[in-house]
Amino acid sequence: MLPEKWFPDWFDDWNEKNPKNLFGPAIWVGVAGSAAFVAVMAVTWGNPFAHQNLQTGPRGTGMSVTKYEEAITTPDPSIADYFGEAPYEVAEGEPLARDVYENVQVLGGLTEGNFTRLMNSITLWVAPDQGCAYCHAGADEGNYADDDLYTKVVARSMIQMTQVINDDWYAHVNANAEVGVNCYTCHRGQNVPSDIWFRIAPVNEGVAGWSANQNRATSQSQFTSLPSDALEKYLLEYESIKVHNLTAHASENPSDPGVATWQNTERTYSLMNYFSNSLGRNCVFCHNSRAFYDPAQVTPQWATATLGIAMVQELNNDWLVPLKDLYPEHRLGPVYADAPKAACRTCHKGYQKPLQGTNMIADYPELAVISE
């Protein structure tokens, strides 16, 4: 039989006169137990939020970039679709492409086998669905010599441009390791690379004064209220990006030539915002945030980025813009019918290193130097 009472009378009397709220201690015990469980699981299975710090400046200045390891180790999905084929060994006396095929204006010094290898790779990089006929109108009849299609003429120029990038701009595309670029760096299996751009400013001509290049969500402004003409001003028209003035009360008039205005400052912000989104990094990856204006306090990455700006300016003005008359109407810009142009994101596509540092010239040395 169960006892009528579990506790003596004195205990029941004391407990009745001194009630206690057990919910508070229970909650604290639960929190402490949960924390202990999480700690044990993190030690046993690993921290799901583990991160790495990339130091970009002097120690003690807080100049570092933090990334979750999961994000760092997540591969660029384009890498899985990349096709590469190592060069064929060259036999003595093997015929050259220029001696075998008609109208070979570039890469004619390659052997027939290596020339065909590269052409096949370019097809897979740029036009995997259309095949050879994308550039060669007579491909089905075995005629590859005619320049009837604009795509062939453009492709020839792009091969030369790729060689210039790898040769003349070696310090930018091989800043950390020899990786270079090839057609796939930008195209990724598409006829037209993603993240190209066209001129669109001014976006609102109906406003007096400042031409309302900003306060409109556009792709060029990364859908912010910042100016939409940063790419064309800085990466096409060579306008100076520097706007910092250390004078407290500057005497210049905004109407004077060469004087930076608030609009120039906001346009610089727009360009820097574009850089950050293009590379997946923040400001201190290149700059010391206490002195953006001081080149003596920047990081090594600043020099690489500066070369990249100069490279893109040259590519747009010397290679891409001159192709305008070759393109059909549907390939031109929607506002000014201008040629498509490149910028940082055209290659980087959100990663610090395009294709996360995949070596793009290891199998294609013919694209790494300027040749015939």
Annotated binding site for heme: 119, 132, 135-136, 158, 172, 183, 186-187, 272, 283, 286-287, 344, 347-348
Whole-angstrom CA distances from 372 to 104, 111, 253, 362 are 9, 13, 52, 20
Token pair belonging to 181: 């670029």
- Write phi, then psi, for 53 (nearest 5 degrees): -110, 125
Residue type for position 276: S
Distance from C-alpha of 168 to C-alpha of 319, rounded to nearest angstrom:
14
Distance from C-alpha of 191 to C-alpha of 218, rounded to nearest angstrom:
24
Distance from C-alpha of 191 to C-alpha of 158, rounded to nearest angstrom:
13
Binding residues: 119, 132, 135-136, 158, 172, 183, 186-187, 272, 283, 286-287, 344, 347-348
**For tokens 């893109």, what's the residue?**
312
Token pair belonging to 176: 């950390």
Cα–Cα nearest to 201, from 150, 246, 236: 236
**For tokens 């037209």, what's the residue?**
192
Reported as type and span, the H/E element at residue 55 is: strand 51-55
Q: Report H helices in the chain.
A: 9-17, 23-45, 69-73, 97-100, 112-126, 150-168, 170-173, 183-187, 230-235, 262-279, 300-314, 344-348
Distance from C-alpha of 211 to C-alpha of 261, rounded to nearest angstrom:
14
Q: Is 218 helix (H, G, I), strand (E, B) or coil?
A: coil
**Inter-residue contact 253 to 259 (CB < 8 Å):** yes
